[in-house]
Amino acid sequence: MSDKSLNRELLQIPHVKISGKGPNLLLLHGWGLHGGIWQTILPKLEQNFTVHNVDLPGFGKSQFHNQDREPNYDINYLIEMVAQILPERCHLMGWSLGGVIATALARKFENKIEKLITVASSPCFVANEDWPYGMNQQVLESFIGYLSEDFKATLNRFLMIQTMGSPTQKEDVAQLKETVFMYGLPSEKALSGGLQILHDVDLRQTLQELSIPLLRIYGKSDTLVPLRSASLVTELVPDSRLSIFKKSGHAPFLSQSDEFMDCVVDFLNN
């Protein structure tokens, strides 16, 4: 093992694969997955951007080391980890949980971020009294509880929910399942911590404080981030751009990859 590899492990710098040419674009995947989920659109991204494809800690090739010494797996920890690999200037694109992290990063490091894209993401994933359009709190809490009993089965169930409503659900599920176990099982601590972030997060004020261009992408049939929540986010960031994919659920970059790419390139290049 080289000194550089050893240092990366000791410092727990997330794994990032850099490819392509053009302006920097850093990608953040969703819960349970890793950077491999972007493979469908990666070739086209590489034609336009220098892509920094990140595996969040505990997923893909960013497995934990010395787990008993790990800090809490919360949003502040993930921001700290990803901040280590942020280019000096870049665009950010985050899907689902990755969109939450990307939003928080963009607010904290606005001097480094050119534009932000959130995909099937929400400042509040759980519904409450003043945020009616989100995931049922008891459902999410049940997933957190099931993780300790059989986290592989729970992960598979959550992947199924992510593809509900998509006309290409069968193909989407197959791709998600093939991707998630490509590098072995994700860390149980990362899985439970990621779900807890989705349970606790409220970035409404953070969104309102953003001063960089923002594109929000939704799938019309998304069951995790209901389309009805888009209007609430528009009230928070009226100057943001909104794009709705009518034949998609929670993963529009899988079910409508060509249209998705056109939307992303148009926003980032103009």
172 given a catalytic annotation: no
250 given a catalytic annotation: yes
Beta bridge partners of residue 50, listed in sequence order: 20, 24
Q: What is the dihedral of CA 47, 50, 55, 57, to 10 degrees?
A: -170
- Rounded CA separation 51/90 (Å): 10
Of 45, 8, 26, which is closest to residue 86 (Cα–Cα)? 26
Going 164 to 61 to 121 to 100, the CA torsion angle's sign is positive
- Rounded CA separation 89/78 (Å): 19
Residues 29/59, Cβ–Cβ less than 8 Å: yes
The one catalytic residue in 55, 222, 229, 243 is 222
Residues 199/228, Cβ–Cβ less than 8 Å: no
- Rounded CA separation 105/56 (Å): 14
58 φψ region: left (φ > 0), alpha (ψ -120 to 50), beta (else): left
- Rounded CA separation 92/210 (Å): 13
Of 201, 194, 4, which is closest to residue 104 (Cα–Cα)? 201
The one catalytic residue in 96, 166, 221, 229 is 96
Q: Where are the beta strands (DSSP E) in the chain?
A: 15-20, 24-28, 50-55, 90-95, 113-119, 214-219, 241-245
The one catalytic residue in 15, 91, 250, 255 is 250
68 given a catalytic annotation: no
Of 158, 126, 161, which is closest to residue 145 (Cα–Cα)? 158
Radius of gyration (C-alpha) of the chain in whole angstroms:
17
Residues marked as catalytic = 96, 222, 250
